[in-house]
Structure 1
Amino acid sequence: MVQMFAGAAHPSPEIGQRPEPIASLQRAQKVRGCVLCRSAHAKCDNQDPSCSRCTVLNRECVRAPLDPFRHIYNPTVKPVDRALEPRPEYEYAENQVWLTPLNNVVEFVFEDPSNEHVVPPSTQSGGVSSHSPASDPSLPPLGNPQGRYPSTSNYSTTGGPLSQSPVTFNAPGTSSVGSARSRNPTSDSLLPGVPEWLRNTDTWQSCSVTENTQNDHQDGSEELASGGSFSSSLSISPDAANTGARKRHWPLEDENEALLLRHFTAKLSLWFDYCDPQNTFATLVVQQAVKSPTLLYAILATSARHLSMISDFDAYLADKYHRECLELLIHIVGDSSALLDDALCAATVILRLFEEISVPLVGSDTQGHLMGTHTFMRASEYRPFGIREAVFRVVLRQEIVFAFKTQAALQLLPEYVQVDRAMERVDDWAFAFHIMVLCAEVLSYCYGEGPKLAEAWDDLSARVKSWIDSKPSSYEPLFCVPTCVVKGQIFPQIWLLNDCHVAAHQHYLICQILLVSHNPRRPQLGPRRTESVDSTERVIRNHVKDICGIALSNSHCIPAMFTASMVISVCGEFFTDYQEQKAMLEILVKTDVELAWPTASAQSYLLEKWDWNQV
């Protein structure tokens, strides 16, 4: 019986007849998700002619092209019996051009992308070749390619730890972040393309790298001038590894790095300077990157990751810079003095954003850099000024987002409360910080391990009400239009003055959502329970729509969209109206596709809860 059904499924070919390739049958049946769903990193339901997401968003549903692999003998897609194996469906063309490898030329290259210097064949045991490209005038000289530079990681070219003696590298053709300015500081080749009046020879040298040339310095300069290359001995200072303290190394010679730094200053710094009237990250933090390679690598990695998520920017660069940054951070483990470095503190909180927007690629939030920010915050007392203050506020917002999504208490709540109580309510930004700390307290009450006493709930509820009652007049909306479903306006329009007003109102509404959903006096049984549940869900829906309306009405405040997406992902299942569901899904898609803030998992979860996958 089994053989009968097996034969019906896969009939044996007659003698001389070539069987139908199973791989081609599977590829014919396989359907790729549409371009919109793939760009949002969401699962496509593959409905014909348009998937559910494209139908809701009124977008053209374009199927992503198939990119077949060259399967030859893969048992998962081809018959196991080699006798019945058909010819490969994808073959090389008859006019395929094949390169002939050079004979008797073997080079040993350390293939770490950040360490692309060549190990001379003579240093290898049992050398394969007595011939090297450096000695062959017909071959171009080997040097660092454009945009590459030696790594400062504590590994030799053979993969082992560095010895105490200096490490020898080939002199790079170009220098970039963390590379040595090994030439005469007064020479024109030191600052190519920089006008004379912009040069400051005292600050264009690196203090963390020292050079000891084997030949006379003048001879080396003449060799460079003639187009040759030389080997220099670079001694990596432990202080440079621990603190990243280096003098100015601008202008950057890699155009990609300059582009990434500008992207951070113009775009991503707004995410960190949210509710910061001093714009600390766009000013002080970026300026610190001139002297701190660790901070600069963190900025470059995060900018590269963001650009790779919203455009066709090379994603490899993000991983490369991230690895370089981690190699420098490893050296500060156990160094209490390094934890007081403001530049390293800022680098850690920037890497937390890198971690957040990398979730679609990694698969989950590893929280590694979030824990790192906690270490820096606990290492020293709060400073009410400068970079440390700005980082403290960013960490508070990052913790609130994580705690609300994962329904967990905040780790640094005592530190937040202590700072909040010592702060004077002298301006609107301090008033906004107060409601954020209060939101952190409410989160810890709702999701902490302590008892949910009614007295504690009453105290928090009274403090939240006191905040909204005592808000300054500048917190009043500039313009307000209520929801009008008839006109297709699902969310209200609420225009606010500054970013601190936007953030403060959203966090106030989050407090209300948490308090109403965790009211210890809400009936748990009896006829009043259903009425109480309906009332609670109605209040939550109204607050969610207000949060979304604030985000859309103040689109210049990018983090407000993140807050709206966070609230939708947690409370979206309470919405049953199709138009409201569609409007919230549009926010999630916009935040994911245009801002690279991951919402694909929230989209999939809500589509399932709303039964859209059954449409």
Structure 2
Amino acid sequence: MRVGKGCERCRYRHIRCVIPPGASSCAPCARQSRVCQLDPPFHFKNVRQVYQKSSGISARFDLDWDEDQVWVNTSQPVTFVLESCDDVDGDREQHVEETHVQDSHTPENETLTTMRPLSVEPSWYPHNNGGSGILAVEHVSPGAAQSHSNETSPQQQITMGNSLSLSHPTDGPPSLSLREASLMRNFIQKIAPWADICDPQCHFSTGVSRRALQVPMVLKAVMALAARHDAILSNQSDSEASEYHGQCLELLIPALDRPEQTYDENLLVTVVLLRIYEELENTTDPQFHLLGSNRLINLMSRSASSGGLAEAVSWQFLRQAIYASVVQYQPFELDLQNYARSSMFQRSDDAAVANMVIFHCADILRICRTVPQEPVDEDARLQVANAVEEWHRAKPTTWQPLRYQPADVAVNRPFPEIWMMSAPAVVGMQYYHAACIFLTFSEGRSRPMTDYQMARSRRMSEKNIASHILNVIGLSQSNESVHNAYFMACHLLHRFGYCLKHWTEHQGSLEFLTCVEKILGWRTSWIKRELERQWTELEQVDSPDN
């Protein structure tokens, strides 16, 4: 048989609660040898004031919770049920405290307070260690109390007492095991800063982590992502991450099956976190959550310009969509009109300036697509090219490098040295160079050319692209504390690394990719193997012996 509401632990974990015939606990609790606690049929409500009549005059008495408070009389002893949480394994056990309030007769003109059975939802329960349950008391007139006589027994008639102060609702985080707390810290310190690079409020480090302590689906996504990152860095099995990922999907799939008008930012946060989880295993990235994120953000049209956590998550996904388009040749299908309404275009701080060029970069990918033979709308391309150059001309003077030293292969310095003042400026300039690469790559597709012109254009394009790639890598190496800056360099090396011609540039790129995997846990070995294969083949083609 299946319990109607489910036991407390199963409802907290959002899993099915089934009690086999004759069993004293549900199947999930029995498997884990845990106490199976069914809920009381009562839902309590706080009382802040009572009304009484004296000599035909009504008067309100506020309950101030002080020692001199006069309480409504009762003729029955009162039993209070207090709830608290065990902080060991996330289980909650109820502790019962009995308080007997001795009193005499209750006058007929006094208001009675009665408990009534209510259906209890999962959100009723506290999520903190040592927190008490929520008490609810309902006031009824003497006549109304008589009408409830079939629902409540005399033992259920209670009055407010001083012990009620112990049952004020408190909200707090669920108890985490030591391992879960370690994974949460790993997320906050190592992973969230990747997404917060152009967000002064650091919504991923603060908002997402706090949301995870309130929403099980978000928590499972955070745990899965942090566990996979930890497994990559420690070269351990990915089984823990896969288990958290499966638990998250058990909550996510039913949420996605609901009507679209019920979608909220918790769903958006979860899908974007799972997308980062997929990207970490980039050699076999199935892109399931990329498609889900596209659909969610396009449906939640205001999220990219709504401010707060939802907007921060949307901008993070815009960078993810750029990654998929550059590295995995995916068509760019995100609706950029949602982003065009963002407050970023009315601000002038470094984060907003960086997000502007990220938007332009995405717009170029939308216009130019990823297939070289596909024709390009030349007017739209020219318009976005002008927007990029205008952005570069108008960028703040503080975006000028503190130090610049050009590359010089003669002294084994394949990449320029470029010191920037802020992290958003580093990433913003990288996206500027990426935008220039995409514009160069799409140049001349709609223009008829002779064979010689096509060959010359191709060689000039590769030289120009190589120059921008060297600048992107130089920005990463010169500002090593900006970990987000490593990603674009890896993406562009994968896509256009064949344009690098000198062996010093080849060796420097391979060393850079090795450093990225060691520091970030972003798998780059497959990129190194692919680049080595491409460079070897091109060297053989260019060899004078052929």
1:565-609 superposed Cα distances (whole Å, 9 cap, x missing partner): 100011111122111111111122222343221223322221111
Q: In 1, are the aligned partners of 2:225 and 2:277 still within 8 Å (CA)?
A: yes
| Counterpart residue type for residue 366 of structure 1 | P
Residue in structure 2 matched with residue 371 of structure 1 by the alignment: 291
Residue in structure 2 matched with residue 488 of structure 1 by the alignment: 412
Offset at residue 288 of structure 1 (A):
1.2
Structure 1 residues 558-573: aligned runs within 5 Å = 558-573=483-498
Whole-angstrom CA distance in 1 between matches of 2:275 and 2:403: 35
Stretch deviating more after TM superposition (509-518 or 306-315): 306-315
Structure 1 residues 344-359: aligned runs within 5 Å = 344-359=267-282
Match of 1:324 among 244, 247, 265: 247
Q: In 1, are the aligned partners of 2:129 and 2:174 still within 8 Å (CA)?
A: no
Q: In 2, are the aligned partners of 1:523 and 1:529 still within 8 Å (CA)?
A: no
Cα–Cα, structure 1 residues 453 and 326, in superposed 2: closer, same or farther, change >3 Å?
closer
Whole-angstrom CA distance in 1 between matches of 2:226 and 2:28: 32
Match of 1:427 among 349, 353, 364: 349
**Mapped pair 1:311 → 2:222:** no
Matched residue of 2:527: which SS? helix
**Mapped pair 1:292 → 2:215:** yes
Matched residue of 1:310: which SS? helix
Q: In 1, are the aligned partners of 2:268 and 2:313 still within 8 Å (CA)?
A: yes
| Counterpart residue type for residue 317 of structure 2 | V
| Counterpart residue type for residue 529 of structure 2 | S
**Mapped pair 1:184 → 2:95:** yes
**Mapped pair 1:472 → 2:399:** no
Whole-angstrom CA distance in 2 between matches of 1:587 and 1:347: 31
Offset at residue 154 of structure 1 (A):
3.7
Whole-angstrom CA distance in 1 between matches of 2:397 and 2:426: 14
Residue in structure 2 matched with residue 394 of structure 1 by the alignment: 316
Offset at residue 150 of structure 1 (A):
9.8
Residue in structure 1 matched with residue 3 of structure 2 by the alignment: none
Residue in structure 1 matched with residue 364 of structure 2 by the alignment: 442
Whole-angstrom CA distance in 1 between matches of 2:410 and 2:133: 65
Cα–Cα, structure 1 residues 167 and 552, in superposed 2: closer, same or farther, change >3 Å?
same
Matched residue of 2:414: which SS? coil
Structure 1 residues 156-171: aligned runs within 5 Å = 169-170=29-30, 171=33
Stretch deviating more after TM superposition (257-266 or 550-559): 550-559
| Counterpart residue type for residue 296 of structure 1 | L
Whole-angstrom CA distance in 1 between matches of 2:259 and 2:463: 51
Match of 2:193 among 270, 274, 278: 270
Cα–Cα, structure 1 residues 156 and 176, in superposed 2: closer, same or farther, change >3 Å?
farther
| Counterpart residue type for residue 441 of structure 1 | D
**Mapped pair 1:536 → 2:461:** yes
Structure 1 residues 198-237: aligned runs within 5 Å = 200-202=130-132
Q: In 2, are the aligned partners of 1:483 and 1:489 still within 8 Å (CA)?
A: yes
| Counterpart residue type for residue 547 of structure 1 | V
Q: In 2, are the aligned partners of 1:249 and 1:291 still within 8 Å (CA)?
A: yes
Residue in structure 1 matched with residue 427 of structure 2 by the alignment: 503
Whole-angstrom CA distance in 2 between matches of 1:532 and 1:611: 23
Q: In 2, are the aligned partners of 1:359 and 1:598 still within 8 Å (CA)?
A: yes
| Counterpart residue type for residue 410 of structure 1 | F
Match of 2:442 among 503, 518, 524: 518
Q: In 2, are the aligned partners of 1:445 and 1:452 still within 8 Å (CA)?
A: yes
| Counterpart residue type for residue 275 of structure 1 | C
Structure 1 unmatched ranges of 5 or more? 1-143, 159-164, 188-197, 206-245
Whole-angstrom CA distance in 2 between matches of 1:422 and 1:432: 9
1:345-385 superposed Cα distances (whole Å, 9 cap, x missing partner): 2122111111111234xxx2111111222233133322432
| Counterpart residue type for residue 446 of structure 1 | C
Whole-angstrom CA distance in 2 between matches of 1:496 and 1:182: 54
Residue in structure 2 matched with residue 222 of structure 1 by the alignment: none
Residue in structure 2 matched with residue 603 of structure 1 by the alignment: 528
Cα–Cα, structure 1 residues 157 and 528, in superposed 2: closer, same or farther, change >3 Å?
farther
CA RMSD of aligned residues (A): 3.4
Offset at residue 390 of structure 1 (A):
0.8
Whole-angstrom CA distance in 2 between matches of 1:178 and 1:379: 38
Stretch deviating more after TM superposition (167-176 or 515-524): 167-176
Cα–Cα, structure 1 residues 614 and 576, in superposed 2: closer, same or farther, change >3 Å?
closer
Residue in structure 1 matched with residue 156 of structure 2 by the alignment: none
Structure 1 residues 375-386: aligned runs within 5 Å = 375-380=295-300, 381-382=302-303, 383-386=305-308
Whole-angstrom CA distance in 2 between matches of 1:491 and 1:204: 62
Matched residue of 2:256: which SS? coil
1:203-237 superposed Cα distances (whole Å, 9 cap, x missing partner): 799xxxxxxxxxxxxxxxxxxxxxxxxxxxxxxxx
Whole-angstrom CA distance in 2 between matches of 1:185 and 1:249: 23
Q: In 1, are the aligned partners of 2:220 and 2:247 still within 8 Å (CA)?
A: yes
TM-score, normalising length: structure 1: 0.61
Q: In 1, are the aligned partners of 2:407 and 2:414 still within 8 Å (CA)?
A: yes
Structure 1 residues 243-262: aligned runs within 5 Å = 248-252=172-176, 254-262=177-185
Residue in structure 2 matched with residue 342 of structure 1 by the alignment: 265
Offset at residue 337 of structure 1 (A):
6.8
Q: In 2, are the aligned partners of 1:551 and 1:561 still within 8 Å (CA)?
A: yes
1:58-83 superposed Cα distances (whole Å, 9 cap, x missing partner): xxxxxxxxxxxxxxxxxxxxxxxxxx
Cα–Cα, structure 1 residues 151 and 313, in superposed 2: closer, same or farther, change >3 Å?
farther
Cα–Cα, structure 1 residues 422 and 471, in superposed 2: closer, same or farther, change >3 Å?
closer
1:389-413 superposed Cα distances (whole Å, 9 cap, x missing partner): 1101100000001111133332213
Whole-angstrom CA distance in 1 between matches of 2:538 and 2:439: 32
| Counterpart residue type for residue 399 of structure 2 | Y
Cα–Cα, structure 1 residues 289 and 267, in superposed 2: closer, same or farther, change >3 Å?
same
Match of 1:576 among 482, 485, 501: 501
| Counterpart residue type for residue 474 of structure 1 | T
Whole-angstrom CA distance in 1 between matches of 2:488 and 2:198: 14
Whole-angstrom CA distance in 1 between matches of 2:490 and 2:273: 21
Cα–Cα, structure 1 residues 339 and 149, in superposed 2: closer, same or farther, change >3 Å?
closer
Cα–Cα, structure 1 residues 183 and 612, in superposed 2: closer, same or farther, change >3 Å?
farther
Residue in structure 2 matched with residue 280 of structure 1 by the alignment: 203
Whole-angstrom CA distance in 2 between matches of 1:546 and 1:339: 45
Q: In 2, are the aligned partners of 1:247 and 1:290 still within 8 Å (CA)?
A: no
Residue in structure 2 matched with residue 137 of structure 1 by the alignment: none
Offset at residue 339 of structure 1 (A):
5.0
Offset at residue 532 of structure 1 (A):
2.4
Structure 2 unmatched ranges of 5 or more? 1-8, 36-84, 99-127, 136-169, 541-546
Whole-angstrom CA distance in 1 between matches of 2:269 and 2:518: 27
Match of 1:461 among 376, 382, 385: 385
| Counterpart residue type for residue 589 of structure 1 | T
Q: In 1, are the aligned partners of 2:19 and 2:26 still within 8 Å (CA)?
A: no
Whole-angstrom CA distance in 1 between matches of 2:86 and 2:226: 21
Whole-angstrom CA distance in 2 between matches of 1:333 and 1:464: 37
Q: How many residues align?
A: 409
Match of 2:516 among 582, 591, 596: 591
Offset at residue 471 of structure 1 (A):
0.8
